[in-house]
Amino acid sequence: MGNVQKLPILSKSRFMAGIQCEKRLYLDCYHRDLADPVGVSQQALFDTGTDVGILARQLFPDGILIEADFMHFPKALSLTKDAMSRKMPIPLFEAAFQYDDVRTKVDILQPIGINSLSLMEVKSSNSLKEEYILDAAIQYYILIGAGIKVTQVCLAHLNKEYVYPGGEYNFKQLFTVDDITRETQALQPEIENSLKSMRLCLAESDSPLIKAGKQCTKPNRCSFYGYCHQNEPVHHISQLPRISEKLLQRLEAIGVNDILEIPADFSELNEIQQRVRDCVVNNTLYLDKEIKKELSKLVYPVHFLDFETFNPALPLYIGTRPYEVIPFQWSDHILDKDGTLHHEEFLHDGIGDPRPAFAKSLVNALGKSGSIVVYSGYEQGRIKSLADALPQFSGDLLAVLPRIFDLLPQVRKFCYHPEFHGSFSIKDVLPALVPGMNYKDLEINEGGLASLAYFEIISPKTTLDKCKELRTNLLKYCERDTEAMVRLVEALSK
């Protein structure tokens, strides 16, 4: 990939990339053009992080912002130095520091005591995660190295127990602040060793030969995932359902990367994995007749039900918590015994809490009889949550639960097609079992995009025409999900 002359300056984000995978760090420094495009859902996560970070500044209303971004880092350093030279120190937001050729901008730097500072990292999560401590630890390393007297390190994240009462947020209750000073200090030797290893990697003339593995998606999906997986076989062994790291390494040790290459006498696969192997090798559909028996238990009228939801980081409705899942749309295809099929649907208008209208319309549509087919346990969970949140509908909602028939476990237990590629998601199962039917023609074609569309609908900045367009696309998507279940049941019953 060319000769590498001068090592690049690192940043906190590049350091964290190197902790995940040094190949990711190398590519990020020298071959950024190979990165996957940032998707709409990924950008939404970035935006949420930015919004929560800005909101956390309300914990320190007298603080000031260092208004210079990473593209103008020398200016940020100069502004930070000027701000810290004041006789009366005040909290700083986005203060910039550099040491040992590593740069960072600190979310919040708060004066505590005499000539002492607290470093606060802000995360939009509602829990403390291991990688967040490393994130804070590299910042601590930089600041201490730069001669800044940091005696406390904290992590601020959203408080999952905070119940929104309406009106302005209570910021001290909205955020949980964890003291992670000891953990951060304990990681300092590891920080130094990691930096040495990363620089050795970056001094090479080519990226390290690191095989794709669990690190490609943990703690987050790597931005070079597509590049590193581009030459994988169509039926890579990672598609074996619930494959363990041990089994993955065992197969790689005997030179097997393709399911087609797994020997017939290889005895370490479980029952479902063996079934997948046989289907792929023989290019055949596995369909146990037991699934037809299970489907024959469905009671008419059969309802095929699907929900769409969103989970705002910052609670929008009274009585809700950060990231609480809020259902806003349902679709119901109803199949009568004579083969008649009709469709009912609900999509909230976007004004106020969707849940009361959602629940009322749902119990009316489902009536008192007939099986309710879903795909996964998601709908059951949402119904239970609605029953807890809305006592006035609790009895009717809970009465629905015994009627639910989950199609996913039946497919997983009794069916496999090579085109599933190890996934039992309805998006992968549908085109394999019902040729010609998929989601490719839809503007909204997965749940994450549906959530973002609803976020856009409820935004006061969205025009009426755009809202109308989004509503049309949401209705098409949710309807496709329930029609898909109808067609799957038809295919599996033959």
Q: What's this model's pTM, rounded to 2 decimal places?
A: 0.92
pLDDT in tens, 281-325: 999 999 999 999 999 999 999 999 999 999 999 999 999 999 999
- The reported pLDDT for the residue numbered 114 is 80
Shared domain for 265 and 379, answered yes or no, is: no
Q: Mean pLDDT across the stretch 129-146?
A: 97
CATH number at residue 400: 3.30.420.10
- The reported pLDDT for the residue numbered 494 is 84
Distances (CA, A) of 8 to 25, 28, 193: 11, 10, 18
Q: Quick check: 2 pLDDT over 60?
A: no
Q: Mean pLDDT across the stretch 213-218?
A: 92
Shared domain for 56 and 31, answered yes or no, is: yes
Q: Quick check: 3 pLDDT over 70?
A: no
pLDDT in tens, 158-175: 999 999 999 999 999 999
List all residues 6 or more positions away from 230 whose beta carbon is below 8 Å from its beta carbon. Answer: none
For 34-61, b/e burial (b = at least 16 CB within 10 A) is bbeeeeeeeeeeeebeeebbebbbebbe
Shared domain for 134 and 118, answered yes or no, is: yes
Distance of alpha carbon 276 from alpha carbon 278, whole angstroms = 5
Q: Mean pLDDT across the stretch 461-465?
A: 97
* C-beta of residue 414 within 8 angstroms of C-beta of residue 288: yes
Tell me the chain's radius of gyration from C-alpha atoms.
27
Q: How confident is the model at residue 4 (pLDDT cuts 50, 70, 90)?
A: very low
Give the structural domain span for 149: 10-200
Shared domain for 325 and 413, answered yes or no, is: yes
Structural domain contains residue 220:
no
The mean predicted confidence, pLDDT, of the chain is 96
Structural domain contains residue 188:
yes
Structural domain contains residue 352:
yes
- The reported pLDDT for the residue numbered 5 is 61
Can you read off the two tokens belonging to residue 93?
């937001």
pLDDT in tens, 396-426: 999 999 999 999 999 999 999 999 999 999 9
The total number of structural domains in the chain stands at 3
Distance of alpha carbon 435 from alpha carbon 487, whole angstroms = 10
Shared domain for 274 and 167, answered yes or no, is: no
Amino acid identity at 326: I
Q: How confident is the model at residue 89 (pLDDT cuts 50, 70, 90)?
A: confident
Helices (H), 171-327: 171-174, 181-186, 188-202, 225-228, 245-253, 271-282, 290-295
- The reported pLDDT for the residue numbered 358 is 98
pLDDT in tens, 253-276: 999 999 999 999 999 999 999 999
Q: Mean pLDDT across the stretch 358-387?
A: 98
Structural domain contains residue 211:
no
Structural domain contains residue 149:
yes
Q: Which of 284, 319, 352 is the last residue of a domain?
A: 284
Shared domain for 241 and 341, answered yes or no, is: no
Please name which of 276, 373, 392, 387 lies closest in space to residue 332, comparing C-alpha atoms.
373
Q: Mean pLDDT across the stretch 339-360?
A: 97
* C-beta of residue 418 within 8 angstroms of C-beta of residue 280: yes
| Helical (H) or strand (E) element with 55 | helix 40-56
Shared domain for 60 and 195, answered yes or no, is: yes
- The reported pLDDT for the residue numbered 221 is 95
Q: Quick check: 1 pLDDT over 50?
A: no
pLDDT in tens, 20-73: 999 999 999 999 999 999 999 999 999 999 999 999 999 999 999 999 988 999
Q: Mean pLDDT across the stretch 192-216?
A: 95
Shared domain for 291 and 278, answered yes or no, is: no
Shared domain for 469 and 334, answered yes or no, is: yes
Residues found in the chain? 494
Shared domain for 296 and 183, answered yes or no, is: no
Structural domain contains residue 64:
yes
Q: Quick check: 6 pLDDT over 90?
A: no
- The reported pLDDT for the residue numbered 392 is 97
Structural domain contains residue 207:
no
Shared domain for 194 and 308, answered yes or no, is: no
Q: Which of 200, 215, 240 is the last residue of a domain?
A: 200
Shared domain for 157 and 117, answered yes or no, is: yes
